[in-house]
A and B are shown apart, each in its own frame.
Chain A
Amino acid sequence: MKPEPNNHLQALSQAIVQGLVDEAGPLAEKAVAAGMKPLQVIEQACVPAIEEVGRLWEAGDYFLPELIAGAEAMKAAMTVLQEALKSSGQSLKSAGRVVIGTVEGDIHDIGKNLVASMLRASGFEVIDLGADVKVERFVETAEREKADIIALSALLTTTMLNQKRVVELLVSRGLKDKFKVMVGGAPVTEKFAREIGADGYGESAVQAVSVARSLLAGRGGNHD
């Protein structure tokens, strides 16, 4: 096979869709070395590839391991491409800045990690506070980091009320309009999200990305 640009793009795209974490980085390097513009590689290979991963997930073809592998491969490629952008004096516009964590009293964080990976893979900057995160810490971090979105995960019916407490704290500090709040987790529903005053709800990690995008559509970020 000739090292044509399209072949590089195709190979990279396939590596991401198939979750080949070790191959995605070197393939991105090859594409750049072959003279392609990093932005072009991102737009023509990476973005369509991660969208294909999301589609396969929604169709039931992919399950958690494939989804995570896809996001990891995407991350590997993006690290290379962002580096290349930087050395040419450019930078990629962030899709938005998200502070994410599993709420207090809850130590389950696989779902949250998955959402964080998918957000990162989709161009968001993600600040992951981990699990069992205190209400105040979400709000303080969001302020300090000038975040756009606070994303809250809860896996237990007993802890999902702490999602509400975060919203309440934002309201009481007069910060509710400054950040969008999105919630998720097995027991959480769209109805619950609305009831507690959250701005968005995602049923899966793939949905979370489109929810985050729509929350920030037509609005300037809090960061530069």
Chain B
Amino acid sequence: MNKIKLKFLSGGKIIKAEASPGQTLSWVLFRAGLPIKLYCQGRGICGRCLVEIKSGPLPEETEAERKLKLERRLPPTFRLACQLRLYQPLIVRIPDELLLLPEIKNLAGKFPGSGRPALRDFNPLVKKYVLRLAREDLSREERLASVIKSTLGLKQLAFGPTAGHKQKNVGPSWRQSTAVIYDDRLLLALEAGRTDDRILGLALDLGTTTVSARLLDLVKGKTLASASAANLQAAFGADLISRIAFAVEKPGNLKKLRRAALKSIAQLTEVLAREAGVKTKWIYAVCLAGNAVMNHIFLNQPVDSLGRAPFRPAFLSHEPVPGLEVGLSLNPRAMVFTSPNLGGFVGGDISSGLLYTGLPSKAGNYLYVDLGTNGEIALKKGKKILVASTAAGPAFEGSGISCGQPALPGAIEYVKWSGDRFKYRTIGRKKPSGLCGSGLLSVLAESLRAGWLLPSGRITAGRSEIPVAPGLTLSQLDIRKLQLALAALKSGMRLLLSTAGLDWTELDGLYLAGVFGSSVDPGQCIAVGLLPPLPRRKIIFAGNASLAGAEMLLLSGQARKSAARLPLKVQHVSLAELENFQGEFLKALSLGRRYWRKNDV
């Protein structure tokens, strides 16, 4: 079949690509290494993947495109990448903001909160031991096994499938060998010579929108580098449900999702290794903290059951898997430890976040709220932990908000009303390009204070928008979307509290993890009504607690033990099925402190 020649203009460069007749532009872009964000999973309804045809015959418009153009009065050269099918050579401009940036953010020193909490023990997931071996020890596997077991005092030690395969190349260097042992129970490899000064682990937070990773030296327990990047799966849908819908649509799609995640991880790993001046083949251990859907996709488990009520995961805890089996390009014998799912949409990112805060073993009553593309909530009371997920949606990641953007340089992260205008602060002190989650929350808080907004969410004085900065306004519809996201979280907290028979005044602390970095002001969170008006010292910003938890799992045997026990301690609550869900949700739509008033149940 004849290939169609295409040229893409992107970021000041020209990228050439080829397509088969009838392929959609979005798919060709993905294959060409220019994945774009498809918010509605390529269904042609969100109208956000607009590209401009600079040259070439204009292909016929689909109905979705016609409708959108009528609504927005767009010129005929503006087309939807997810709808446009290719039959003729074209030159197409791809707007930068549409690209899923492979750009990788260095996170060095950017973790808010207290950094790593004191470890209860230093017992890395993978350790190295130097052995003195005689020639005859290496001749037979059984002999080698018994020598290693007795030398190290690890009676239960098993051999990985290819752990000893180098034993036949017996040379002088093998007299001194280094055994690589996973969790004191599995021999992963035997390296020639003394290599015990280098062994690395990778902590991974696989999120719906973002993948964050940290590279650790498992000898010293030191962080070598941290970075995050977009999850390339966003090319198949922005939110979890659209990813599930895509995965179950036809065979092979789950694999596409898996490959996209693996690609994101591989890119990140390479950057981390370069940054730290190490080789990726030194990485023997990975701790993965992914949300429930990401965990399933990563481990090649069917996601069907997560797409319909009662939204049950296919597994909670999962056995460690060889990295090679799941397609990670690290050391070929590397093992992956997965932080357990806790039920429904409460996944390994929450279990690792809970471990990071130490909440499961703390005395007292605590709430843990993770605000990301979903909003997950955990409530600890006594020995019990209740967990729930809410449909908060990605509004606080800036998605679906007219002036919203992710927390990147140029995003307004904080505002203060000065009496005649909003004073703002941007990330990196750059010119403002949009508002990120903390900025949006901040505008809501200050607008309420300044009288721009009523508690009902209505913009006052007959206006239809709030001007925040030059060219950046928050529309009434934006505010409605933020109200819905806030209400999902607020009602979720309150429903969990009432399920446990607890009042918010009885809380000893509240952890807020996720998209709001340390830039968010707890006072503004309270003013908007996102959080109950606890004393400030009780509100703890945990930042990317999932990643920090994954790091702990790499380093601490106690943490891994707690992780194994956690699913047994946890009770999952399906909020939407609670009798007072609707009433609570509607009440929570109002902005301001009122929702948390005492005795207003």
Q: Do A and B come from one complex?
A: yes
Residues of chain B with a CB closer than 8 A to A113's CB: 582
CB pair B244–A66 under 8 Å, yes or no, is no
Contact A107 B577 (CB under 8 A): yes
Which single member of B245, B458, B476, B590 contacts A158 (CB below 8 Å)?
Answer: B245
| A189 contacts chain B at the CB level, 8 A cutoff | yes
Contact A105 B241 (CB under 8 A): no
A92 contacts B by Cβ under 8 Å: no
Is the C-beta of B15 less than 8 angstroms from some C-beta in chain A? no
Assess A110 versus B457: contact at CB under 8 Å? Given A60-B464, A60-B476, A158-B308.
no
Contact indicator B309/A132 (Cβ below 8 Å): yes
Q: Are B241 and A68 in contact (CB under 8 A)?
A: no
Digitize A41-61: 1 where CB-to-B-CB distance is under 8 Å, 0 elsewhere. 000000000000000000011
Task: Find residues 286-307 in chain B having any chain A CB closer than 8 Å to their own CB.
Answer: 307
Size bracket, chain B contacts: 20 to 34
Of residues 19 through 75 on chain A, the ones whose CB sits less than 8 Å from some CB of chain B are 60-61, 63-66, 68
Q: Would you call A64 and B64 a contact (CB within 8 A)? A: no
Q: Does B248 contact A (CB under 8 A)?
A: yes
A93-129, CB under 8 A of B: which get 1 and which 0? Answer: 0000000000011111110010000000000000000
Return the chain A residue nearest B304 by Cβ: A158
B43 cross-chain contacts in A, Cβ below 8 A: 189
CB of A159 within 8 A of chain B?
Answer: yes
The reply to whether the CB of A191 lies closer than 8 angstroms to some CB of chain B is yes
CB-CB contacts of B446-480 with A at 8 A, as 1s and 0s? Answer: 00000000001110000010000000000011001
B308 touches A64 (CB 8 A): no
Cα distance A109–B583 in the bound complex, in angstroms: 12
CA–CA, A61 and B586, complex, Å: 16
Complex contact A156–B586 (CB within 8 A): no
Which of the residues B41, B464, B480 comes within 8 Å of A63, measured between beta carbons? B480
Nearest chain B residue, comparing its CB with the CB of A68: B586
Residues of B within 8 A of A66 (CB): 456
Contacting residues, chain A, for B483 (C-beta < 8 A): 63
Q: A108-B576, A158-B248, A191-B63 are in contact. Are A63 and B456 (CB under 8 A)?
A: yes
Interface range, A side: 20 to 34
Contact call A60/B64, Cβ cutoff below 8 A: no
Check B244 against A158 for contact (C-beta < 8 Å): yes
**Is B45 located at the chain interface by the 8 A CB criterion?**
yes
Q: Does B357 contact A (CB under 8 A)?
A: no
Q: Is A157 an interface residue (CB 8 A)?
A: yes
Contact present for A107 and B576 (CB under 8 Å): yes
Known: A108-B576, A159-B307. A61 touches B585 (CB 8 A): no
Give bound CA distance, A106 to B310, whole Å: 8
Specify which chain B residues have a CB less than 8 angstroms from the CB of A105 in the assembled complex. Answer: 307-309
Within 8 A of B (CB), among A136-158: 156-158
Whole-angstrom distance between the alpha carbons of A109 and B587 in the complex?
16
- Pairwise interchain contact B241-A158, C-beta atoms closer than 8 A: yes
Q: A63-B457, A132-B309, A158-B307 are in contact. Are A110 and B242 (CB under 8 A)?
A: no
Which residue of chain A has the shortest Cβ distance to B587 in the bound complex?
Answer: A65
Whole-angstrom CA separation of A187 from B576 in the bound complex = 18
A131 / chain B contacts, CB cutoff of 8 Å:
309
Are A156 and B589 interface neighbours, CB within 8 A? no
Q: Which of these, B244, B581, B586, contacts A65 with CB under 8 Å?
A: B586
Residues in A with CB closer than 8 Å to B581 are 110
Q: Which of B477, B574, B589 contacts A107 (CB 8 A)?
A: B574
Q: Would you call B307 and A64 a contact (CB within 8 A)?
A: no
Measured between beta carbons, the chain A residues less than 8 angstroms from B480 are: 60, 63
Residues of chain A within 8 A of B457, CB atoms compared: 63
Question: What string of 1s and 0s marks CB contacts (under 8 Å) between A150-185 and chain B?
Answer: 000000111100000000000000000000000000
Chain A contacts for B574, CB-based, 8 A: 107
Give Cα A158–Cα B304 distance, bound, in whole angstroms: 9
How long is the Cα–Cα vector from A157 to B589 in the complex, in angstroms?
24
CA distance in complex: A63, B481 (Å): 11
Q: Which residue of A lies closest to B575 (CB)?
A: A107
When the two chains form their complex, are residues B582 and A110 in contact, meaning their CB atoms are under 8 A apart?
Answer: yes
CA distance A60 to B162 in the complex (A): 65
Hey, what's the 0/1 contact readout for B30-67 against A, CB within 8 Å counting as 1?
00000000000101110000000000000000011000
User: Which chain A residues lie closer than 8 Å to B587 at the CB level?
Assistant: 65
Q: Which residues of A contact B391 (CB under 8 A)?
A: 108
Q: How far is the CA of A191 from the CA of B45 in the complex (A)?
A: 9
A105 to B576, CA, bound (A): 13
Flag if A106 contacts B309 (CB, 8 Å): yes
Closest residue to A161 on the B side, CB-wise? B245
Q: Give residues of chain A (177-221) contacting chain B, Cβ–Cβ below 8 Å.
A: 187, 189, 191
Residues of chain B with a CB closer than 8 A to A107's CB: 309-310, 574, 576-577
In contact, A156 and B458 (Cβ under 8 angstroms): no
A157 and B245 contacting across the interface, CB-CB below 8 Å: yes
**Whose C-beta in chain B lies nearest to the C-beta of A106?**
B309
In chain A, what residue has the closest Cβ to B303? A158
Given contacts A61-B458, A158-B241, A158-B244, 5 further A-B contacts (CB under 8 A): A63-B589, A65-B586, A108-B576, A132-B309, A191-B64
Q: List 26 A-B pairs, Cβ < 8 Å.
A: A60-B458, A60-B464, A60-B476, A60-B477, A63-B456, A64-B586, A65-B456, A65-B587, A65-B590, A68-B586, A105-B307, A105-B308, A105-B309, A106-B309, A107-B577, A108-B391, A110-B582, A110-B585, A110-B586, A113-B582, A131-B309, A156-B241, A156-B245, A156-B307, A156-B308, A191-B44
Q: Which residues of B contact A (CB under 8 A)?
A: 41, 43-45, 63-64, 241-242, 244-245, 248, 307-310, 391, 456-458, 464, 476-477, 480, 483, 574, 576-577, 581-582, 585-587, 589-590
What are the 5 closest A-B residue pairs judged by CB atoms, nearest first? A105-B308, A158-B307, A157-B245, A60-B476, A107-B309
